[in-house]
Amino acid sequence: MLGAGLQTRSRGFAEQGHVRFRRVTTFAFVFSLTFALIAGLAGGVRLAAAASTAYVATDSLNLRESPSEDSGVIAQMWSGETVSVIDGPTEDGWYFVDYIGTQGWANGDLLTWEAPVSTGVGGWRAEAWVSTDRLNVRADASLDASVMDIVATNDELTVLGNPVNGFYPISYWGGSGWVWGDYVVFDGPVSTGSEHWVDVDRSSSRVTLYIGDMVVASYWAVMGWDQSDDGFFATANGTYHVYAMNQALTWTEYGNAWITDWVGFDPYRANGFHSYSRESDGRLAWRPAAPTGGCVALDPAYSAAVYDFAFIGMRVEVHW
């Protein structure tokens, strides 16, 4: 680029003075080089950085579409991760970089050219395991951030960086999420002791909570009007695992009613535990204990107890 610029300027001087240069003297070369550099600096041009490797020097760094904090975010990069510098810096200190095959702009103030020292397990990239029954995966490092998913005991996570506000950044479906650091461990799966599970006995209409072989509690419940073993509107026999939970007052199209304490265990039939039918203000509806289309409905106090006992992945056995 610089050589081409000098060649163009030399040709321009020759045309203006109607002089043909037969040779380039040392003086002329130095003069032209100085002129080119001064002109370049005056125009705000920065020389491109040689191709090099840089490292993210902050907890998380946005890869952006253009060299501005107002531009769109292409990806998030995490502490210690490597980028290949393609060009830059701009006047504002931005670099054009390649991050795992994706190219964009990174703020140079948050990059370093010194390779980070790995802190081993628990450092800027490590495997970790969930150490509680259920743990929210949030969109940001805050208790006020929205919940994107729930992970369960001994689910394996990839931690991508150092904690922020007590939350660890984790890899989540090709993107990232945040989990509370007190409920992850880095030294392998935790010992869970006796299994927590729920037994649903259709013949007695009882829901029984177990820890191992020990009965914790047992409640009467309303179940599906379809008495077949596996009908679509039956509380169908089988072994299931809890796949969804929602404690808030929620409208259900299936039951045409409001419910609380939803604990879904049969995704095919959309069956799960929940409270008796409610009104939009939370009051119990008329005929709250009518037979269901397959769900297991309980008195609100009992449905709340089931909700508190359950967690994503918990086993549910349904039988006669």
Q: Are 153 and 192 in contact (CB under 8 A)?
A: yes
Comparing 278 with 164, which gets the higher pLDDT? 278
| pLDDT tens digits for range 106-150 | 999 999 888 654 433 334 578 888 887 778 899 888 888 888 888
- Calculate mean pLDDT across residues 55-79: 87
- Which of 23-27, 206-210, 278-282 has the largest mean confidence? 206-210
Q: Is the pLDDT of residue 212 over 90?
A: no
The pLDDT, as a whole number, for residue 58 is 80
The pLDDT, as a whole number, for residue 161 is 78
pLDDT band at residue 287 under the 50/70/90 scheme: low
Comparing 48 with 73, which gets the higher pLDDT? 73
- The domain 126-185 is placed in CATH, from the list 1.10.600.10, 3.30.70.660, 2.30.30.40, 3.30.70.890, at 2.30.30.40
Cα distance between residue 120 and residue 111, in whole Å: 21
The pLDDT, as a whole number, for residue 109 is 93
Q: Where are the domains of the chain?
A: 2-42, 52-112, 126-185, 196-319
The pLDDT, as a whole number, for residue 65 is 95
In three-state form (DSSP H/G/I as H, E/B as E, the rest C), the secondary structure along the chain is CHHHHHHHHHHHHHHHHCCCCCCCCHHHHHHHHHHHHHHHHHCCCCCCCCCEEEEECCCEEEEECCCCCCCCEEEEEECCCEEEEEECCCCCCEEEEEECCEEEEEEHHHEECCCCCCCCCCCCCEEEEECCCEEEEECCCCCCCCEEEEEECCCEEEECCCCECCEEEEEECCEEEEEEHHHEECCCCCCCCCCEEEEEECCCCEEEEEECCEEEEEEECECECECCCCCCCECCCEEEECCEEECCCEEECCCCEEECCEEEEECCCCEEEEECCECCCCCECCCCCCCECCCEEECHHHHHHHHHHCCCCCEEEEEC
* CATH class of segment(s) 52-112: mainly beta
Averaged pLDDT of the chain = 80
Indicate whether this model's pTM tops 0.75.
Answer: no
pLDDT band at residue 51 under the 50/70/90 scheme: low
Q: Is the pLDDT of residue 15 over 70?
A: no
- Alpha carbons within 13 A on the beta-carbon side of 38: 6
Q: Is the pLDDT of residue 39 over 60?
A: no
**In the chain, % of residues over pLDDT 70:** 79
pLDDT band at residue 270 under the 50/70/90 scheme: very high
- CATH architecture of residue range(s) 196-319: Beta Barrel (2.40)
Comparing 172 with 220, which gets the higher pLDDT? 220
Asked whether this chain's domains 52-112 and 196-319 adopt the same fold, the reply is: no
